[in-house]
Structure 1
Amino acid sequence: MERKHQYVLITGATSGIGYELAKQFARNGYDLVIVARDHEELSKKANEFKEYGINVVSISKNLFLQEEAYSLYSELKMNGISPEILVNDAGQGVYGKFQDTDIHRELDIINLNIISVIILTKLFIKDRLSKGSGKILNLASVASKFPGPWHSVYHATKAFVLSWSEAIREELKDSGISVTALLPGPTNTDFFNKADMNKSKLLEDKDTLASPEEVAIDGYHALMNGNDKVISGLKNKFSVVMSNLSTDTMVAHRMSEMQKPMEK
């Protein structure tokens, strides 16, 4: 393995797809800045990644709060770190009909899935423009392609992430900074527990869930190739093609049937 001597900043790096992405970068010689809320998990994962012979900086931040996103970048500047790659992985959802769900939880999710992503990306771009290089990987989702009854706010935040990623990619095309969106489908992570979604019909057969490692490999290669986006998994590619041939009403109904509670 050849050391790159370049830092990758990864949010949500202690579990799921973020953790698997961190492993991909570590295996390929990149130094890491890993970000999550849990101090203990950060320390544990930092020690694991250091076994690859790289530098690892762990920073505990609560990215539900805007000021924590700003302070994250301030800490990097104070330590003289200018990440070459930004991976916006941290994200959550909440399950249930919009009329029943907790508005405060949903506003937190919007802050995490959209606002903190915008802040970190803005600061990253401002830092990297003068250097003429950089790569951004934004975790969208195949949910970005479908209206999502029973999971409406999450689907909407990912639709924002995808549209916005494609827009700033065009703006940055002559800057040396690339933007890639990763669109996984349902993946075997702790996401569904955090979203209180374990009773959804989507999880009736957990054997159909994608492996976070396979998703991370797809995302890593797409980023390194400078692709605009990648839909991870053949089944998810097919679902997106089918949705493009259907009306939004039909797609929304199909998603409602897939995501409604099992007992219904």
Structure 2
Amino acid sequence: MPTALVTGATSGIGRAFARRLAAEGHDMILVARDEQRLRDLAGRLADRHGVEVEVLAADLADPAAREPVERRVADPQRPVDVLINNAGYGTSGMFWDIPGEQLHDQLELNAGAVLGLTRAAASAMRERGSGDIVNVSSVSGFFPVSGSTYSATKAYVTTLSQGLATALAGSGVRVLALCPGFTRTEFHERAGLEMGRLPKVFWLQVDRVVHEALADLRAGKAVSIPSPQYKALVAIGRLIPQKLQRLVVTATVPGRT
């Protein structure tokens, strides 16, 4: 059986990827901080789908703690066929109001962990001549969200993924940047963002996001933007001046002032 490793597997998009890939017959490696939640999910996936599930509890914002995960991804004796880099978090408030330690942790998790795990996977997959990497980014990475370090980290993830997809073309290794819009998960509540003003049309269902991502990956695309409304938003955003982009985003993104 092929093996898939999913970070941030206990909730949201990561959990949906874990369920979908296990249902497709992948053995699973689940990574997150909460070991009990990981084991609960592992038991359900194993019972329902008859797959083997390995649990790795790690805080990926800590470079030392993520080293064992990077080694597992790169292990030639136990190859990882699919890597889903999903772990990440946002913050509420402006850049200068957020503690520096929190910003550093966010950068390490959202960008540093993606860099380390992607490098480990890409090197091993390139040698084997096959493999898939999905780096979960965000539509916000296309726009200069006022005071947001989250959108800056996601811009990095998207650009890194696009560059690797080009560099690995023809190698048998596929790399995708998944750039969803607002998706119904625990993410916004954990970040302390007030989302009550957002129209329903902009909310995505997590299983739809995962379905479109895998379809785009298997079609050979380097970027996946689920749903017509967000595809249109990004396309229009590329046509208007950045100064106008900043004004529009500042006025409309919930939780920003």
TM-score range (shorter-chain normalised) is over 0.9
> Contact 2:7–2:14 (CA<8 Å) still a contact in 1?
yes
Which of 176, 179, 203 aligns to 2:175? It is 179
Q: Does 1:67 align with 2:64?
A: yes
Number of residue pairs the alignment of both structures matches: 255
Where do 1:87-106 residues align within 5 Å? 87-106=84-103
**How far is the alpha carbon of 1:213 from its aligned partner?**
1.1
Task: State the alpha-carbon separation in 2 of the partners of residues 119 and 224 from structure 1.
Answer: 24
- 1:92 shift after superposition: 0.7
Q: How does 1:40-55 map onto structure 2 within 5 Å?
A: 40-50=36-46, 51-55=48-52
CA contact (8 A) 2:62 2:108 kept: yes
Residue in structure 2 matched with residue 57 of structure 1 by the alignment: 54
Whether 2:105 is the aligned partner of 1:108: answer yes
- Counterpart residue type for residue 100 of structure 1: D
Q: Secondary structure at the match of 1:99?
A: helix
Aligned in 2, Cα 1:179/1:76: closer, same or farther, shift over 3 Å?
A: closer
2:208 is the alignment partner of 1:214: yes
1:58 Cα deviation (Å)? 1.1
Say whether the 8 Å CA contact 1:24–1:220 is kept in structure 2.
Answer: no
- 1:204 is aligned, of 197, 205, 210, to 197
Superposed counterparts of 1:112-131, under 5 Å: 112-131=109-128
Q: Is the 8 A contact 1:21 1:220 kept in 2?
A: no
Segment drifting more, 69-78 vs 47-56: 69-78
Q: 1:238: which partner in 2? A: 232
Amino acid at match of 2:225: I
Does structure 1 residue 225 correspond to structure 2 residue 222? no
Counterpart of 2:142 (choices 137, 145, 149) is: 145
Q: If the length of structure 1 is used for normalisation, what is the TM-score? A: 0.91
Distance 1:79 1:228 in 2: 26
1:163 pairs, out of 159, 166, 187, with 159
Checking the alignment, whether the CA contact within 8 Å between 2:133 and 2:176 is kept in structure 1 is: yes
Whether contact under 8 Å (2:74, 2:121) holds in the other structure is no
- CA drift of 1:69 comes to 1.9
- Alpha-carbon separation, structure 1, partners of 2:167 and 2:73: 25
AA of the residue aligned to 2:251: E
**Map of 2:28 onto structure 1:** 32
How far 1:259 moved relative to its partner? 2.5
Aligned amino acid, residue 251 of structure 1? Q
Deviation at 1:155, TM superposition (A): 0.4
Give the Å deviation of 1:203.
3.5
Residue type of the partner of 1:165?
A: S
Q: Is residue 33–residue 57 contact of structure 1 (8 Å, CA) maintained in 2?
A: yes
| Counterparts in 2 of 1:99 and 1:177: CA distance versus 1, 3 Å | same
Which consecutive segments of 4 or more residues in structure 1 shift more than 6 A?
none
- For residues 58-81 of structure 1, the C-alpha deviation after alignment (integer angstroms, 9 at most, x for no partner) is 110100111222111335667942
Structure 2 residue aligned with 1:189: 185
| 1:149 and 1:259 in contact (8 A); partners too | no
Opposite residue 213 of structure 2, the aligned amino acid is G
1:97-136 CA-partner distances (Å, limit 9, x unpaired): 1121222111101000111111111111222222111111
Task: Give 1:6-21 correspondences, 5 Å limit.
Answer: 6-21=2-17
Cα distance in 2 between the residues matched to 1:43 and 1:225: 33
Shift of 1:226: 2.3
Distance 1:136 1:261 in 2: 31
